[in-house]
Structure formats: structure tokens, C-alpha cells
Amino acid sequence: AIERLGRTQVAMETARARLLYGEWLRREGRRADARAQLRTAHALFTRFGAQAFAERAVRELRATGETVARRDAAAVAALTP
């Protein structure tokens, strides 16, 4: 599904598929594989402004043992021209 969605213009659905796949991988004990999917999902959701999904990806990343730095709105605004 991820491969097919990646060839389309439906980037939000691609991000959601990566999130779901990352969640499944984590539950199966495949933490390194899960992290790759969850990082990509988080980056896409953040880019689209889908905060709830981005936070879900962060929770899943933390569940894999990864440390995820929080970004505050002021820091992001300072970087955006």
C-alpha cells in the first residue's frame, strides 16, 4: 500500500499508511523498522499541519525507545520565513 500510495498525489494517505505500518511493526517487535516508518510519517504529518497524527507518531516513536525532541511553535515560527 505504501509503495502504491507513494506514486500518487495522496501524500496524507501515504503518511497514514506509514503510521499504521509503523505501529504494526512496533507491536511485532521490529523496532528499527518501525522507527523508519514512524519518522517518515511524523515528518509528513508535521509538514501538512496534521498535529494529532504527528503526536500519535511521536507516541509510537517513544514506545520504540526513541527520544523525540519537542518542537515549540515559537521555534518553528522563527525558522519559517
pLDDT tens string 13-71 = 899 999 999 999 999 999 999 999 999 999 999 999 999 999 999 999 999 999 887 66
| pLDDT at position 36 | 97
pLDDT tens track for 56-76: 999 999 999 998 876 655 655
pLDDT band at residue 2 using 50, 70 and 90 as cut-offs: low
The answer to whether 64 and 27 have CB atoms below 8 angstroms apart is no
Going by C-beta distance under 8 Å and a sequence separation of 6 or more, which residues neighbour residue 53? 15, 16, 19, 41, 45
Task: List the domain boundaries for the chain.
Answer: 2-79
Mean pLDDT computed over 1-22: 81
Distance, C-alpha 57 to centroid of its chain: 5
> What single-letter amino acid sits at 15?
A
pLDDT of residue 23: 98
Helix axes 51-63, 31-48, angle to 10 degrees: 160
